[in-house]
Amino acid sequence: MERRDPIAYVLSGIRYKATGCGLRGGYLAHGKIPSAFCRLIRDSRYWLEEVIGPEGARLAIPVSVAVDNTERPCCGITWIFPPTLANSAETTSS
């Protein structure tokens, strides 16, 4: 599965619902980005996804990084993929 497929992300033990909206780093302002991630907004290797937190607040977190023409989860992020016909449970990738 690819970066666009997760239905949720886990960061620091907290599950965030994916919204499907995201943006490559290098094109962002500080709007809804937590201060811990502000250094990444100017680095175009990172993909930041707008997510919905447990309280319903929307924020942008870095969910993947491009390395050697492939996307992988950022450090500390777990991608959660939906169930499929072949696997009836959610699967994860970190």
The answer on pLDDT for 89 being more than 80 is: yes
Distance in angstroms (rounded) separating the CA atoms of residues 23 and 66? 13
The pLDDT, as a whole number, for residue 30 is 57
User: Which pLDDT tens digit goes with each residue over 56-66?
Assistant: 988 888 888 88
Which string of b and e fits 43-69 if b means at least 16 CB within 10 Å?
eeebbbbbbeeeeeeebbbbbbbbeee
Contact 93, 78 (CB under 8 A): yes
User: Which pLDDT tens digit goes with each residue over 30-56?
Assistant: 555 666 666 666 677 888 888 999 999
The pLDDT, as a whole number, for residue 1 is 63
Supply the mean pLDDT for the chain.
Answer: 82
57: CB partners within 8 A, 6+ apart = none
